[in-house]
Every structure is written in structure tokens, then in C-alpha cells.
Amino acid sequence: MVSDPYLGKYTTCISARSTDREILKKAQDGGIATTLMVYALEEGIIDGVIVAGEGDLPWKPRPFVAMSRKDILKAQKAKYNISPQISWIKEATRSFGLDKVGVTGVCCQIQAVRKAQLYPINMRDVPGKIAFVVGLFCMENFLYDSIQAIVEDHTNQSLSSVKKMRIGKGKFQVYTERGNVATAPLQATHKYGQPGCYVCLDYVSNLGDISTGSVGSPDGWSTVFVRTRVGNDIWSKAVDAGLFETKPIEEVKPGLELVMKLAKIKLDGNRKTLEERRNFGVNKALRDPYA
Amino acid sequence: MEATKEAKPVANKIKLGHVHFSGCTGCLVSVADIYQGLLKILDDYADLVYALTLVDVRHIPEMDVALVEGSVCIQDRESVEDIKETRKKSRIVVALGSCATYGNITRFCRGGQHNQPQHESFLPIGDLIDVDVYIPGCPPSPELIRNVTVMAYLFLEGNEEQKALAGRYLKPLMALAKRGTTGCFCDLMNDVINQGLCIGCGTCAASCPVRAITHEFGKPQGDLNLCVKCGSCYGACPRSFFNFDVIPEFESISELIADALR
């Protein structure tokens, strides 16, 4: 067990991608989150999972409870704006009648799940029914209007023509259905970030059973942290079942070093923001949720 | 024939009580909904020394932990005396549920109904006595009541390590008790969104018992006329309190609690 102040607790870190061609076709990276949840569903480890599906506007996510492979696949690809995943967590154990709930989401949403497990406040039944949690790496998120401004104004693309969005190598990249690629420098997107993200002290979903993201691995592959006993159990079974190609993280470029570098940038930067909040006014502080 | 002896010595049980004010007994039902866990708690960790619903003890006795349900009608002399008596007789006072913590639905009382039309003012217990721990929720989650009871036992009867853990666990619930006696959807506006802390995770919407919260473009939207002022949403929000010395240990703490109740 490694316990790192920036990367959290984990037993193993690997670079991996799914062997499922249908999943890979639409995956943001290595198709890890989708493949894991489909596997968990088919093995009866979960009987449903909260995912970020398509909403009522192009590239606006809508959280929903998926209970089939087909529905889980509908949630593929990163949508860079808010999807209130946890709003379904109690309902999944009510009208959906689930016993073993899966959750996908970014770091703060995984934190919310763990808080609900230890301090369930009007969250009856939730603590015992969380079965499998896959967390995504997250640097920051945007509001829907922000994503509209970035895509439509800064990269000059029509949102409804976009096939995929990516943040990497200092750029916000937009790929259109007809094959065009447009980018905006990441610097230009900073003012559009969700304010609440600047006090976040988690980059690689430290509290997931398994966490995954693109940073550290080559295109089409994902970096994966296997963290809890639940995560270890599912990961080893899924690998044995031939669901993933894996490489030790030490053997891939840019590898863990870049993950660490970005984690430091995020956490150290946000710690500074928290510090500044302590003296934000004159003899007045803004609230610190971690105090 | 050999006499059967209790296999496990049962020592140092804490004295637990349930004190009922202007509540609906739903909080006590939540206690009972710990199911066999409650029986285990009563076997090994706590004696239920007072609970008018369950035990034939008429007057408030000495208690290590008092689970207090309901708010207090200040026009009802007996209630006012009882809440003072509860504080005097208890080492740890827990406000159980949203009526005791925040007033909840009794915030809307304004008298004028037979046959005590003058019974018009109800206050959360924290406005009359010092409260140590809050368990917000309407209804409160059985799992949280269970956790607090086990942790209170460890805090009072455990070894040094267990005491420290229990102290860390209870700290945010003690901080809520210090924070105040009002709960509302507006907590999310005043203390989360207005403070630049909301991350649109959706937890508040899940916790709301009356579905007064939806999300518009990722941010909480409250129907204040539906809100019953239970304070759950703020409590559940990961940006109200998020204690890094406890929550990241979710695996081991969940196991510890499960082991204690096995």
C-alpha cells in the first residue's frame, strides 16, 4: 500500500486500456470506467450505476441510473461541465430498488459518496448499498455557459458538431464530427472555471475504489490507480477475465511523474487559495470546509 | 443440568436514554431501524435507562448519552423543565433529528389550535440548553445514529486510540451544534454557494426529504415553499464539513463499526 500526500492511498498504479472494441470506439481514453462498470454489472457486483448521460442540450450531461450495458455505453466520453451525479444516490436505492449501487464521477463527487457513507445525513440505506465507486481524475470543471463560450467563441466551433473534447498539452481541444480539430490555449479558459473547484484538494480521485484518467498514459490509454479492497478484487478479476491490456506505469511515457507534477500544481495552488480565503476581508475570513 | 452463563462479560455499558419533546417518534423509529445492530448495542455497549415509548421509567434519570428528539414548546412548563433536567442529568446531550437540532416543521407553528391555542412557540433544544452533538435529518439516518452511539461508547469507554478516533469522528457533529439552531435550503446559498464553495455534486438534492432541490445548469435550485427547514442538505453537502482526518479512512472506520456490531 502506497500512501502519497498528492496521489492518495493505492496498492497499484498501471497504464491500461479496454480490450472491448465497441467500448474503445467511443471512449475518451482507455475505456476504463465504462468497461469496469459493464463488467461489474454483468458479474452482479452492482445492479445499477450512476453515470453521466446525454442531457437536453448538446454536451450538457445528465446524470442517470444505468442498469444495462447499452445505457452505460451512452455515458461515454468526458463532458467538461457539471453533472450532479450524487443527486441520484438515494433514489437509486428507492424507486430503482437497487441493492448494489455503482457510482462514477469526479473527485468531489467521490468525496460526497464517502461522506454519505460515514456521515449519512438524510441518506438512509445509502451507506450499506454503495458497492463500487470509480473516480475520474479532475483538474477543474466548467459551467455549461463556460463550455459554450470556450467551444463557440474561442475555438469557433458549433457545439452540436463536436465529436469529442479533450484537455491536454496545455490546450482545450475540440474534434468535430466532420474531422476538423480546433484548439484554444488553456490559459484562455481559466476565467471560466467553476469557482468551487479552486478549493479542491484532490486530483486523482483519492477516495475511489479505482480511479482513472488520461494523464500519464499515451493517447488511447488510461492511468489507473487501484485503491481499496473492493477495487483490488474487481480489478484483478477483470484483468484475469481478459478485459484489459495493461502495462506497468513505470514503462510508459510520460508516466507517474507527470501525474505527480499536475497533482502538485492543483493541490498546492488550491491550498494557497484556501490560505488566501482566511484573510479575504478585513478581519473577516471566508469559510473553510476543511477546518 | 448445568446452568448457562452469559459467555461474554458485559461490563462498562454506557447509560443511554431517549427523551421525547415535540417530536413525532420518527427519530426513535430510526433508532429501532438499526435492527439487530440495536440489539447488539443494547447487549454489549449500552443500557437503555430511559425511553417512555419502550421503558417503564417515569422520570429522567442520570444518562451518559441522551438522545433528545423534538423541539421544545416554551408555553408548556413541563417541557421546559424536562429539557433543563435532561441537560443536568446527561454527560452528552445529542440533538436527535431535525426538530431537536433546527426546529424543522415546528418552525411553522404559530398557535391557535384547540385545545391549547396558546401553544405557539417552539424552539430547537439548542436555544434552551447547550447541546454537544447534532444528528440532523428528518428522518435521521439509522446508520448515523448507530455510528454516533458506537463512537460515544468508544469515546467514554474505549482505550486511548479509540477515544481519539471517536473524538475525531464526532467533531464535525459537535461543530454543527456550535454553529447554530437554524436549518434551511438557504444554508446552501449562504454558506456554500455564496461562499464560493459549491461544486454542483448534487448531494443536497439527494438528501432533501421533500424533493425541494433540483439542479439548474449544475447549481442547486431550492423551492423554499416546499422546504421544511430540516437542515439536511447543508449537513450532507461535502462542502459544509469535510474532515480529511476521518473521511479518507472510510474503509477502516466502516470495518470498525461493522466489527463492533458483529
What CATH number should be reported for the domain holding residue B196?
Answer: 3.30.70.20
- A104–B contact, CB cutoff 8 A: no
For residue A284, being part of any structural domain is answered with no
Cβ–Cβ below 8 Å for A121 and B198: no
Residue to mutate among A119, A148, A230, A276, with most B CBs inside 10 A, is A119
Q: Looking at the structure, do residues A37 and A174 belong to the same domain, yes or no?
A: no
Helix axes B250-260, A107-118, angle to 10 degrees: 20
Q: pLDDT per residue over B50-72, tens digit each? A: 999 999 999 999 999 999 999 99
Residue A242 has pLDDT above 60, yes or no: yes
For residue B197, being part of any structural domain is answered with yes
Residue B209 has pLDDT above 70, yes or no: yes
Query: What does the alpha-carbon distance between residue A59 and residue A51 come to, in Å, rounded to a whole number?
Result: 14
> What residues form DSSP beta bridges with A51?
A64
Q: Looking at the structure, do residues B55 and B94 belong to the same domain, yes or no?
A: yes
Q: Looking at the structure, do residues A31 and A167 belong to the same domain, yes or no?
A: no
Helix axes B250-260, B142-157, angle to 10 degrees: 80
Q: How far lies A44's CA from each of A67, A107, A231, A240, in Å?
A: 11, 25, 15, 17
- Chain A contacts in chain B segment 140-169 (CB below 8 A): 140-144, 147, 169
For residue A227, being part of any structural domain is answered with yes
Which stretch of DSSP H or E encloses residue A258? helix A256-278
Q: Looking at the structure, do residues A78 and A25 belong to the same domain, yes or no?
A: yes
Average pLDDT rounded to a whole number, residues A204-208: 98
Question: Are the beta carbons of B18 and B140 closer than 8 angstroms?
Answer: no
Q: Looking at the structure, do residues B133 and B56 belong to the same domain, yes or no?
A: yes
For residue A254, being part of any structural domain is answered with yes
Neighbouring residues of B55: CB distance < 8 A, sequence distance ≥ 6: B48, B49
Neighbouring residues of A132: CB distance < 8 A, sequence distance ≥ 6: A36, A37, A40, A45, A46, A49, A100, A102, A103, A209, A230, A234
Residues of chain B with Cβ-Cβ distance to A9 below 8 Å are 248
Q: Indicate the DSSP class of residue A92.
A: G
Q: Is the peptide bond before B139 cis (omega within 30 degrees of 0)?
A: yes
> What residues form DSSP beta bridges with A14?
A224, A248
- pLDDT band for position A115 (cuts 50, 70, 90): very high
Cell triple for A184: 484554444
Residue B9 has pLDDT above 70, yes or no: no
Residue B217's domain comprises 185-236
Q: Looking at the structure, do residues A101 and A219 belong to the same domain, yes or no?
A: yes
For residue A289, being part of any structural domain is answered with no
Q: pLDDT per residue over B146-191, tens digit each? A: 999 999 999 999 999 999 999 999 999 999 999 999 999 999 999 9
For residue A291, being part of any structural domain is answered with no
Query: What does the alpha-carbon distance between residue A48 and residue B38 come to, in Å, rounded to a whole number?
Result: 30
CA distance B18 to chain A (A): 20
For residue B9, being part of any structural domain is answered with no
Q: What is the model's pLDDT at position A91?
A: 98
Q: Looking at the structure, do residues B84 and B26 belong to the same domain, yes or no?
A: yes
Cβ–Cβ below 8 Å for A9 and B248: yes
Question: Are the beta carbons of B87 and B37 closer than 8 angstroms?
Answer: no
CATH code of residue B55: 3.40.50.700
For residue B106, being part of any structural domain is answered with yes
Cell triple for B184: 434551511
Q: Looking at the structure, do residues A6 and A98 belong to the same domain, yes or no?
A: yes
Q: What is the model's pLDDT at position B5?
A: 62
Q: Looking at the structure, do residues A204 and A181 belong to the same domain, yes or no?
A: no
- pLDDT band for position A119 (cuts 50, 70, 90): very high
Residue A243 has pLDDT above 80, yes or no: yes
Residue A172's domain comprises 143-193
Q: Looking at the structure, do residues A238 and A250 belong to the same domain, yes or no?
A: yes
Q: Looking at the structure, do residues B25 and B90 belong to the same domain, yes or no?
A: yes
Q: Looking at the structure, do residues B165 and B210 belong to the same domain, yes or no?
A: no
Q: Looking at the structure, do residues B26 and B123 belong to the same domain, yes or no?
A: yes
Q: What is the model's pLDDT at position B8?
A: 56
Q: Looking at the structure, do residues B224 and B251 belong to the same domain, yes or no?
A: no
Average pLDDT rounded to a whole number, residues A170-186: 97
Q: Looking at the structure, do residues A242 and A117 belong to the same domain, yes or no?
A: yes
Q: What is the model's pLDDT at position A157?
A: 98
Residue A200 has pLDDT above 90, yes or no: yes
> Chain-wide mean pLDDT for chain B?
96
- pLDDT band for position A120 (cuts 50, 70, 90): very high
Q: Looking at the structure, do residues B133 and B174 belong to the same domain, yes or no?
A: yes
- pLDDT band for position A234 (cuts 50, 70, 90): very high
Count: domains in chain A: 2
CA atoms within 13 A on the CB side of A63: 31
Q: Looking at the structure, do residues B65 and B156 belong to the same domain, yes or no?
A: yes
Q: What is the model's pLDDT at position A141?
A: 98
Q: What is the model's pLDDT at position A240?
A: 98
**Residue in this structure with the C-alpha cell 507517474, named with its chain if needed:** A256
Q: pLDDT per residue over A52-110, tens digit each? A: 999 999 999 999 999 999 999 999 999 999 999 999 999 999 999 999 999 999 999 99
CA distance A19 to chain B (A): 30
Residue A228 has pLDDT above 90, yes or no: yes
Q: Looking at the structure, do residues A104 and A176 belong to the same domain, yes or no?
A: no
C-alpha dihedral sign at B19, B22, B27, B29? positive
Cβ–Cβ below 8 Å for B136 and A105: no
Q: Looking at the structure, do residues B230 and B248 belong to the same domain, yes or no?
A: no
Q: Looking at the structure, do residues B173 and B203 belong to the same domain, yes or no?
A: no
Q: What is the model's pLDDT at position B7?
A: 59
Q: What is the model's pLDDT at position B6?
A: 58
In chain B, the percentage of residues whose pLDDT exceeds 70 is: 96
CATH code of residue A71: 3.40.640
Q: Looking at the structure, do residues A37 and A167 belong to the same domain, yes or no?
A: no
Q: Looking at the structure, do residues A188 and A211 belong to the same domain, yes or no?
A: no
> Chain-wide mean pLDDT for chain A?
97
Count: domains in chain B: 2
- B115–A contact, CB cutoff 8 A: no
- B126–A contact, CB cutoff 8 A: no
- Chain B contacts in chain A segment 54-73 (CB below 8 A): 60, 63
Q: Looking at the structure, do residues B93 and B29 belong to the same domain, yes or no?
A: yes
CA distance A167 to chain B (A): 19
Q: What are phi and psi of B66, to 5 degrees?
A: -105, 120
Q: Looking at the structure, do residues A41 and A91 belong to the same domain, yes or no?
A: yes
Q: pLDDT per residue over B226-255, tens digit each? A: 999 999 999 999 999 999 999 999 999 999
Q: Is A184 left (phi over 0), alpha (psi -120 to 50) or beta?
A: beta
For residue A82, being part of any structural domain is answered with yes
Q: What is the model's pLDDT at position A260?
A: 98
